[in-house]
Every structure is written in C-alpha cells, then in structure tokens.
Amino acid sequence: MDGVTARDLSLAPPPPWPPANPRRRRVLIAVAVAWGLLLAATGLWYSFHGRPTAREQTTIAQAQPTVDQAIENVVRAAGSAVVPAVFGYEKVADCDVTPIRRGSTYARVAWFYTPVGSEPALLDRIVAGLPAGYDANATHSEGGALHTLTADAGNFVAVRGTVAASGLVEIKATTGCRTLGHQPAADPSAPPGTNPLGVTGTWRLHTLPCGLRTLSVTGPVGKPLSTLPRADAVVSTAELYADRTGLAVRTEADVATLTTTSGTCR
C-alpha cells in the first residue's frame, strides 16, 4: 500500500565458530586410541580364554575331545550288562557353515548289544548315568514302537540314541556343521582279530581315552550267524550276535560288521 515501508527480513550471518581447543582435541584422540587398544586387547584375550557363543565359531578338530568324552560317558553309563562296540570319529556329511564357508559334520557311534526287550531300559539307564549337565532324556512312544535318547554334551555336540534293531541300541555323538580346522586322523588299520565268520575287509582299531578298544571289520561274510555258539550269547537273532567275550556281529544283507571289544570305562 502507498506510504507503507516493507521491513527488512534478511538474517544476519551466524557468528564464526570459536577456535578449536588444541588440548581438548588431544584428549579426544587419546580416548579414541585407548578405546581401540582396549577392544583389541579384549579380542585377543577372548581368542585364547573366551568360550565360543555359536557352533560356527568352533572347528571339527576342536569338537573331537567333546565327542570322545561323550561316547566314553555313554559307555560308562551303559554298564557291564551289555556288549559295546565303538567306532571312529568320521565325516558323515558335507555342509555350508555360511553361504561362503564350506564345512563338515563329524560323528562317533557306539553300538550296545543287549538282550531283546531290554532296549528301553538300557536307554533309561544311560540317561540316569550321564552327567547332570548333559540334560539327558529318554522318550518312549505310546505303545512302545519308538524309543529315543537325547542329550547335550556341551561345545555344541549333540548325543542321540535309538533302537537300531531288536537287541541293539545305537548312540551317536554329532558335531553339527563346522569348519574343519585340521584333518582329524583316521583310526589305524590293525592285524585281524577273532573272526569265526570269515568276514573279509580291512580291520580297524578304535579306542577311547578310558582304554576301551574295539577291533572292527566290515565286509562279505563267509559263514552264517547260526554257526556261532548260543550258550554264552547276550543276544542272538537272525541279524545280531554278541557274547561275553566281547565278540559281536551285525549283518545287513550279505555284509557283516564284526567287532571284538576289550577294556572298560570305569
């Protein structure tokens, strides 16, 4: 409108920042350096002393002592009424730890030959004898068709048990998928042991830290199970045989796994 003067709305420029304080800047740099050193030192200490928080942080080689101890504990818990046979620490599967990291799963297996009908009681006995920290549990389905065992041996090692056949309980300690670390040594070959059925194949020696030893051979069988004596048999079926000397045989089709086991886990 005529006679009205517009107000000047322009803003004055902000005042300049005060000059940086050199002492404060040095303090901030020192704090940042100290924090970085603390993180590095903590990481280094944890790499030597800390416990892994995920299975993927461990290797197959690191898991082997836990697996061996788990099988030893199972053998001890099973007691002297069964005939055991233990096998080696072997790869059972390839896997992917992450989309870009390959891994493997390893396991050890133990077989327990027991009188037919006593398999559920054996699983219960193993559960009762395992360390409390394993949180072991046996499950028996309604009607008795399925009997299983589950336990946690620590270090991300799972223990699982099943009735593999009438008169045979199988327990497996498994690593889950991990990177290899270094290649575990294969169980050594061995001179042939007691072989009343003439099973042909390579003999292997499998041991546990407690001193239990199993000689095993798998291959075609030369004689039928019916030729073995029944008087001292713990179990004797069309597929299985075991006696108090530690001799045991499991047949599948025309192939047999024959084992002789000595020593105990006390």
By the 8 A CB rule, do 258 and 248 touch? yes
Domain regions of the chain by residue span:
55-262
pLDDT at 143: 85
Closest CA to 55 of 160, 158, 161, 136: 158
- Write down the pTM of the prediction: 0.80
pLDDT digits (tens, 9 = 90+) for 176-235: 999 998 899 999 999 999 999 999 999 999 999 999 999 999 999 999 999 999 988 999
Give every CB contact of residue 206 below 8 A, 6+ residues apart in sequence: 86, 87, 88, 187, 213, 214, 215, 216
pLDDT at 1 exceeding the cut of 50 = no
User: What are the structure tokens assigned to 14, written together?
Assistant: 């902000």
pLDDT at 12 exceeding the cut of 90 = no
pLDDT digits (tens, 9 = 90+) for 130-182: 999 999 999 999 888 899 999 999 999 999 999 999 999 999 999 999 999 88
pLDDT at 50 exceeding the cut of 50 = no
Query: Which parts of 7-76 are beta strand (E)?
Result: none
User: What are the structure tokens assigned to 91, written together?
Assistant: 């790869």
